[in-house]
Structure 1
């Protein structure tokens, strides 16, 4: 779903020539990891185990006093030397709260990333990682290591454990963690029993503590879903604002446009979930205080400090008045640039903002990333907005922070005001789009192609129990565990989650054209006429996109949700994946590289909103368009079985704008063409709880 998984290319094949990354053994149908790859994978799982305490592994527990200082061991020693200098004077201590939205934390994280990223070979990287594991703040270490693994070319295909297992404190409420610790204290066998149930602790959503006065507590099952929040974290990790330029190539992925579209899709999906719970429209954040929407988080940091809550009718303190003025000034700069239709660079060059391609310029500008046309002038109003809403300060000293949920990517989507902020931020996107002409009839139409019929299976959703492995966040002592390994110790968080029954559809298409076409599938609010569609089109969610080969005559297209392009399945737990690695090293099985552990996609089970027992009506929309070949052929510059393709420039199926044809104002006189079809469907929620063992 959503351009969330433009990153995917799951199990796809590439028709052009490309040399696979090293450490891959492939045959005609599947790729397997070789021994060096498996050793890298094992090391990373080992070094991240029980990250908040000294490693139980002797090799990584012996004190390392120094990082590698040899200049020849780095591809960019100048960048790394800045880390050497700052670490000696001031760096966030272990055990302190970390947030990437603090200016100083961000600076230090970037330098730590440089230490890992510019290490010239695996041995240098490994030694620096072990040193950092012992000496650097845990949250910063997780972020910088995950970022380097994602962007180092020699680590493509290497997977880290799911972020909700690495750092469960940002995904599961404090009462659950406390419950698990108390059980462990009184029962030495807790975590070692056969079967999951006896090793589980029940996790409750914060519904009883959330903003029930305004209704959002009903949505806790969605806003606190670990798959949803993991998705957002991974996207922002792939495209961090402080990385860019020719070296990382993120601009080749239309990063500005993707940033805007990804957030628009997140907002649209949230809107549909609100509608299925009979909640009203999303309010737009207006920065007029007091802000009525509070949020009472039940999360606790590792050090026991609770997340900072925001009271209903929150009033801005005097210290933040200047910050708010600065925020509004940055926002106004963007609005004025959009309205003018151009921007003059310091060298006199004129950037035209009135073109379709300028969406990338606008997105980078709003994101405040290093690929922005003038980062110093436009800054990042996101940083200011999050710190105001999180009642924190991105200029404070590193040890004076008490952040709320909006100060972390992993927790932002738990807070209802985040979506109000998105409404405001995306107002800039729609302001820019309002200056573009509606698509013409010829741009919308596919001459000679007509969708004659659509049949959709019954749509059914349900809640199920699942067990997520949280043992990595719990203290473990091998001596008190009778010498048993931490890898035999597993504690689960047991929680209910939304899922749906797989469904399919059949499109019947009559074609006078023979060749390639692209099918796009959306879901969104129902409407009475095209004028009303103009108002609600921003809440349409892209569910699927795929290439078809049309033949002259009748074409019957059958598709199942298991085939949907943007979706990913559940991840294997940390412990089970580690055991697979060990069995592969011992030659008992082969470690398959097929993206089955992909982090870069939308959770399949959140494809549909909850629905109602009596049925919740939404609209499915399909459009078949000619295939507009992208500037770089899809998958031609990366090996899709082991990579999400970030920075490759070849992730996308075609060159049409993200969200086409809903990304511009609609001309109601001719919008609906024969190559489109709208169909109202009902989502039925069934009662009862089903069982699923893993997240």
Structure 2
């Protein structure tokens, strides 16, 4: 079984080869008790805590300073706020980027993080689960589980399983929350009657029905199959790309016996209407894995955590964060090209935002998320003081870059013409506490998001807005427009660095003769997401233990690709180690014009990197997309994990500790853009550089179940992220024998087409042969 454990590398350059084979640890009784506690703490978190054991533990917050490694200012303020009744109330919207909310969440996190022992931690977590705002509680707990050294190997369910409301439209959430098993059981007694009517009605339309639906909303597969977006029950397996891994495991089959599974189709916000042309991309911008990736990146490198204390400065946090922003925008641009769109729209301070966005989300307290109409003018509706401050931040950094150096308030001069100065630029743009001049630059990032969400400096109770939480902001097309301002600063800094010379790039003795690539095929597959926490049903306990006997599953279509392979033919004049980097980029713009490399370099996404020991002579290397070290397939669901833990607690299962499903890994299925049925022209770039062992990788953490965030030994070398595309391109010197471009095409297969051509024979039931093509 694979488990979604903590923090593996997020992009290919971080972990340049797969984790070495090593015997996987098995969880002991103490670990299992801790894991069970964490799973139960976040179950239906918006409802009152129902686990009697933990209710008793949560009667008071431990405020004895002797029980903590540190008792800081934020903890003092949090405790004072609670005594005064000034904490964010339960049921209110929590925004991690609302300044007033952030201060309280920081204090709660410290109560978790600085606890001396597990008992103190349990008391505090149980108390917070009962007394503290639900969103704040999950935010602080997630940070603690990720960063507390003693908790290596412990996990929480994915954020979209704890709070499905952040990821699925309100239409679905309402249906899930009012689902009643007793009523449903009665309805299925009349299933035959309803189906007879359904068949009769559909037959009247004949082929015209399918033609009309095809031209209307072709992505609504459930209409093609006659499911009509209602709950249905089947004694089948959970759908996912790696389902055979689970279905062939006898233990898995055993624990799933007796579990009642209920499915409901769900689409993205386009389900209701095309708000504007950008709605066409909702399958990508609202993808659960895409949004969860950004969420966990910002939890791993939270802007307010001190770099020295948490070791984040050793991981080049600022450079890593801004590089991720650049890669996200590059990947988004590739998806735009696949749909016939061009450049990401620019953000101008004094112009309207052409594309509005209606998230169609509802917070768990019943309040809908605010939306932005088309042609929205922030200058008219926003806070002018905040608006001017944000502008001044950008103006100031541009002036600093033009000057070439910066003198901090305490007189330190920083040379911004050196490549290593990227850490200062990255820290500034993230607005983190390691920024080089806190007087001018600290909390700029938070201020920006508050402004675009229409939240004032000291607002406390605010309307839900996607820009106030990391897990929701990438749904909005404006995210990419605004974050383009961040990468503009990034590119401006790079502009002043000299391009690499041929001597810098060439790897003497290495020549890439050829790279063959198997056919690249994308399609929409269908997956089941676990939304059992939305279940509105009584909880059953037997001998004090919770009986998890029902599962609600959101069945959704999403982008995926068939596995593909590389075969490298590389000549080496001697035995030596090298780092192989693989990039994917566009070939043409939206008008079919070749994009010059000097402009196109920012559009390449690094999809893999690995170390290879070359032998003298010709080396043939085979590499599969399944081997990419920075990606993960579909994860074990919350329901399954809880059942595994309970089975292991009874001594009937060995619960493994491994990092095969890291929560912060990039979704494997989103490596390739959608492509075209006729084949979308793209290009790979392969580059081999010398392996320099600047340090011993994995030397100070156990790589079997931890990725070592904050260790400083996660990276394979000290090259800049994105190397060799990390500087301006001089085409006269860029082309070297150890670099190789390969033209390819990405073919999209319409897996829904077969339902348009003729009536589906099993109309009213899900087609489990859907994936067979």
TM-score, with structure 1 as normaliser: 0.93
Shift of 1:389: 2.6
Shift of 1:469: 0.8
Cross-structure match for 2:459: 397
**Of the candidates 750, 753, 759, which is equivalent to residue 687 of structure 1?**
750
Shift of 1:633: 2.3
Cross-structure match for 2:676: 612
Give a deviation string over 1:556-578, Cα, whole Å, max 9, x none.
Answer: 11100111121111111101011
SS of 2:548's partner is helix
**Of the candidates 144, 166, 178, which is equivalent to residue 162 of structure 2?**
166
**Of the candidates 128, 135, 139, which is equivalent to residue 132 of structure 1?**
128
Q: Structure 2: any 5+ residue segments left out of the alignment?
A: 1-7, 186-230, 239-260, 753-766
The alignment status of 1:637 with 2:632, answered yes or no, reads no
The alignment status of 1:349 with 2:344, answered yes or no, reads no
The alignment status of 1:627 with 2:691, answered yes or no, reads yes
Give distance in 2, aligned partners of 1:693 and 1:174: 27
Cross-structure match for 1:20: none
**Of the candidates 536, 543, 565, which is equivalent to residue 475 of structure 1?**
536
Contact 1:165 1:473 in 2 (8 A): no
Give distance in 2, aligned partners of 1:693 and 1:350: 62
Give a deviation string over 1:471-511, Cα, whole Å, max 9, x none.
Answer: 11333323799x99562121111110111110101010011
The alignment status of 1:96 with 2:92, answered yes or no, reads yes
CA distance 1:68–1:654, shift in 2 (3 Å):
same
**Of the candidates 52, 57, 62, which is equivalent to residue 51 of structure 2?**
57
Cross-structure match for 1:122: 118
Give distance in 2, aligned partners of 1:53 and 1:578: 19
Give a deviation string over 1:444-493, Cα, whole Å, max 9, x none.
Answer: 11011110011100011111111111111333323799x99562121111
Give distance in 2, aligned partners of 1:118 and 1:230: 26
Cross-structure match for 1:48: 42
SS of 1:4's partner is coil
The alignment status of 1:365 with 2:359, answered yes or no, reads no
SS of 1:422's partner is helix
Contact 2:17 2:609 in 1 (8 A): no
Contact 1:439 1:664 in 2 (8 A): yes
Cross-structure match for 2:200: none
Give distance in 2, aligned partners of 1:211 and 1:529: 29
**Of the candidates 87, 90, 109, which is equivalent to residue 82 of structure 2?**
87
SS of 2:481's partner is helix
Which deviates further from its counterpart, 636-645 or 416-425? Answer: 636-645
Give a deviation string over 1:312-363, Cα, whole Å, max 9, x none.
Answer: 0112345512211111011111111111111112332211111010011110
Give distance in 2, aligned partners of 1:206 and 1:78: 43
Cross-structure match for 2:630: 566
Give distance in 2, aligned partners of 1:188 and 1:208: 24
Contact 1:10 1:640 in 2 (8 A): no
Cross-structure match for 1:520: 581
Contact 2:514 2:568 in 1 (8 A): yes
Contact 2:44 2:534 in 1 (8 A): yes
Give distance in 2, aligned partners of 1:5 and 1:473: 35
**Of the candidates 645, 655, 678, which is equivalent to residue 581 of structure 1?**
645
SS of 1:164's partner is helix
Shift of 1:188: 5.6
CA distance 1:627–1:181, shift in 2 (3 Å):
same
The alignment status of 1:254 with 2:316, answered yes or no, reads yes
Contact 1:522 1:620 in 2 (8 A): yes
**Of the candidates 646, 649, 655, which is equivalent to residue 709 of structure 2?**
646
Cross-structure match for 1:19: none
Give distance in 2, aligned partners of 1:193 and 1:394: 49
Give distance in 2, aligned partners of 1:369 and 1:297: 28
Give distance in 1, aligned partners of 2:115 and 2:719: 38
**Of the candidates 333, 339, 343, which is equivalent to residue 281 of structure 1?**
343
Give distance in 2, aligned partners of 1:125 and 1:7: 32
CA distance 1:684–1:212, shift in 2 (3 Å):
farther
Give distance in 1, aligned partners of 2:270 and 2:507: 48
Give a deviation string over 1:495-529, Cα, whole Å, max 9, x none.
Answer: 10111110101010011132110000000011699
Which deviates further from its counterpart, 293-302 or 683-692? Answer: 683-692
Shift of 1:30: 2.0
The alignment status of 1:549 with 2:613, answered yes or no, reads yes
CA distance 1:284–1:633, shift in 2 (3 Å):
farther
**Of the candidates 532, 535, 540, which is equivalent to residue 596 of structure 2?**
532
Q: What are the equivalent positions in structure 2 for 1:414-453 lying under 5 Å apart?
A: 414-453=475-514
Shift of 1:195: 4.0
SS of 2:743's partner is strand
Give a deviation string over 1:143-176, Cα, whole Å, max 9, x none.
Answer: 0000001010110111110110001000111100
SS of 1:414's partner is coil
Cross-structure match for 2:365: 303
Shift of 1:29: 2.4
Contact 1:60 1:130 in 2 (8 A): yes
Cross-structure match for 1:675: 738
Contact 1:384 1:394 in 2 (8 A): no
Cross-structure match for 2:61: 67
SS of 1:491's partner is strand
The alignment status of 1:314 with 2:376, answered yes or no, reads yes
Shift of 1:212: 4.8
Contact 1:54 1:61 in 2 (8 A): no
Contact 1:206 1:220 in 2 (8 A): yes
Cross-structure match for 1:24: none
Give distance in 2, aligned partners of 1:458 and 1:142: 43
Give a deviation string over 1:612-632, Cα, whole Å, max 9, x none.
Answer: 1111110000000111333x3
Contact 1:94 1:138 in 2 (8 A): yes
Contact 1:460 1:685 in 2 (8 A): yes
TM-score, with structure 2 as normaliser: 0.84
SS of 2:596's partner is helix
Give distance in 2, aligned partners of 1:32 and 1:484: 23
Give a deviation string over 1:400-423, Cα, whole Å, max 9, x none.
Answer: x11321221111111001001121
Contact 1:159 1:597 in 2 (8 A): no
Which deviates further from its counterpart, 590-599 or 92-101? Answer: 590-599
Contact 1:530 1:668 in 2 (8 A): no
CA distance 1:684–1:693, shift in 2 (3 Å):
closer
SS of 2:11's partner is helix
Contact 1:202 1:494 in 2 (8 A): yes
Give distance in 2, aligned partners of 1:59 and 1:620: 56
Give distance in 2, aligned partners of 1:63 and 1:394: 38
Which deviates further from its counterpart, 243-252 or 483-492? Answer: 483-492
Q: What are the equivalent positions in structure 2 for 1:216-227 lying under 5 Å apart?
A: 216-227=278-289
Contact 1:67 1:131 in 2 (8 A): yes
Give a deviation string over 1:279-314, Cα, whole Å, max 9, x none.
Answer: 121112112232212101111100111111000011
CA distance 1:627–1:692, shift in 2 (3 Å):
farther
CA distance 1:162–1:67, shift in 2 (3 Å):
same
Which deviates further from its counterpart, 87-96 or 73-82? Answer: 73-82
Which deviates further from its counterpart, 130-139 or 314-323? Answer: 314-323
The alignment status of 1:385 with 2:448, answered yes or no, reads yes
SS of 1:123's partner is helix
CA distance 1:378–1:417, shift in 2 (3 Å):
same
Shift of 1:380: 3.5
Which deviates further from its counterpart, 353-362 or 590-599? Answer: 590-599
Shift of 1:246: 1.8
Note the aligned Cα RMSD (angstroms): 2.5
Cross-structure match for 2:755: none
Q: Structure 1: any 5+ residue segments left out of the alignment?
A: 15-27
> Considering only CA atoms, is the larger Rg found in Structure 1 or Structure 2?
2
